[in-house]
Amino acid sequence: MNTSIARKATAVIVALAMVMTMGIFTAAPVSAASSSAPKIEKIKYDGKGKVEVDFYGKVKYKKVKVTVKDTSGKKYKASIRDKDNDELEFKIKNYKKGKKYKFTIKGIKKARASKYTSVKGTVKIPAAKSSKAKIKVKDIDYDYEDQEVSFDFKTKVQWKNPKVKITDSNGNSYSTIITDRDNDDLEVYVSGLTYGNKYNYSISGIKARGASSYTTISGSFYAIDD
């Protein structure tokens, strides 16, 4: 190796060593946001406006809050329902189904990071189930002694001012009184039915649980006591 080049290389090495010893040498700055911000592992919608955000690794909070906007930029109020060292749950107020929302969690950091920062995410709130969701009747029983017709549903249902109409093949109507109802059953007192005859029914003010509106279902049965 050329003696002159070797001397220059040695001088450079010595100079660097002196600079580092004196504390003058500094590394390139690292972005606080990139090093402090936790990464979102999963976003889950839990219904009724509640959103769960899971993080990779442990996190810490300081005066944490959540802001929410829809795709048009409209702001929505949000409240934090629960949080721990790897997840946070918040609730969007006055939300609309079938829309996408962007949220920002402020006052959060990785557990070992030095500065608090923010993370962003997006959640889609599912649209309401169709009001035409089909209500399936599992069984219809007629109790001749009690003059009562029972309707058992395969589908979980909800009620709003329900009414039951029962007619025979000639269109004659029979007086009905609802004696009991729950989310999968309806019991109706009906007087004057002829044993063995076929009858038509319609039930209004009923909907499949989760459907957007109430409807009317209809069908037929035989007045036979099983």
- Given 97, 124, 151, the domain boundary residue is 124
Residue type for position 197: N
CA distances from 24 to 13, 15, 32, 200, 214 (A): 15, 12, 22, 94, 76
Residue 116 lies in a domain: yes
* Domain-embedded: residue 14: no
Distance CA 50, CA 130 (A): 21
Whether pLDDT at 133 is above 80: no
CATH number of the domain that 159 lies in?
Answer: 2.60.40.1220
pLDDT class of 53 with cuts at 50, 70, 90: very high
Element housing 36 (H / E): helix 32-36
Q: Which residue has the higher pLDDT, 31 or 139?
A: 139
Number of folded domains that form the chain: 2
* Average pLDDT of the residues in 114-140: 87
What is the pLDDT confidence band of residue 128, given thresholds at 50, 70 and 90? confident
CA distance 129 to 99: 14
Are 190 and 147 in the same domain? Answer: yes
Task: Examine the domain organization and report whether 148 and 112 are in the same domain.
Answer: no
Cβ proximity of 165 and 176 under 8 Å: yes
